[in-house]
């Protein structure tokens, strides 16, 4: 069964700062996320889930990455990785075709107590409202 092997940051050519990344088996995924977002990731069945939560903005996003997506974006492993040797790699980003994204913000976020849900409960809540989560 696939599992998260390592986490750290990757650097994209032409960008000003590195981004958080997760290695699942031999594939590196970049879930995206803004400065103030808390990120929680887990692997379940054939997917990597990323829960990005910004309480200040009252917005919570769930991204689902199929584990069989083909890495196609060039990046360099930057820092934080403890079990992965520094290298130039191809990664899967949150903008890749096939990545699913669902979010709740504003009034719905506050009304439905999204801020106190754990990640899997949030995913299940979205699944009741939308197909595919």
Give me the pLDDT at residue 130, please: 67
Helix (H) or strand (E) holding 119, with range, is helix 119-129
Give me the pLDDT at residue 131, please: 58
Q: Alpha-carbon distance 22 to 12, whole Å?
A: 15
Q: Which pLDDT tens digit goes with each residue over 13-45?
A: 999 999 999 999 999 999 998 888 999 999 999
Q: Alpha-carbon distance 91 to 57, whole Å?
A: 28
pTM: 0.91
Place of tokens 């650097």: 11
Has residue 111 been placed in a domain?
yes
In the predicted model, what is the mean pLDDT of residues 66-81? 96
Q: Tell me the percentage of the chain whose pLDDT exceeds 70.
A: 97
State which residues form the domain around 22. Answer: 4-128
How many domains is the chain partitioned into structurally? 1
Has residue 10 been placed in a domain?
yes
How far from the centroid of its chain's Cα atoms is residue 45's Cα?
A: 16
Has residue 95 been placed in a domain?
yes
- Residue 83 in this model has a pLDDT that exceeds 90: yes
Give me the pLDDT at residue 36, please: 82
Q: Which pLDDT tens digit goes with each residue over 85-115?
A: 888 999 999 999 999 999 999 999 988 889 9
Helix (H) or strand (E) holding 126, with range, is helix 119-129
Has residue 133 been placed in a domain?
no
Give me the pLDDT at residue 35, please: 81
């Amino acid at each position: 069964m696939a599992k998260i092997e390592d986490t750290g940051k990757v650097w994209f050519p032409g960008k000003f700062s590195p981004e958080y990344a997760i290695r699942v088996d031999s594939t590196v995924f970049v879930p995206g996320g803004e400065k103030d977002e808390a990120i929680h990731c887990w692997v379940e069945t054939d997917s990597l889930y990323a829960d990005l939560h910004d309480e200040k903005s009252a917005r919570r996003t769930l991204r689902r990455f199929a584990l069989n997506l083909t890495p196609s974006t060039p990046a360099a492993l930057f820092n934080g990785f403890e079990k992965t040797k520094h290298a130039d790699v191809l990664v899967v980003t949150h903008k890749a075709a096939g990545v699913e994204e669902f979010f709740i913000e504003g009034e719905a976020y506050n009304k439905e107590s999204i801020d106190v849900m754990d990640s899997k409960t949030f995913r299940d809540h979205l699944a009741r409202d939308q197909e595919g989560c």
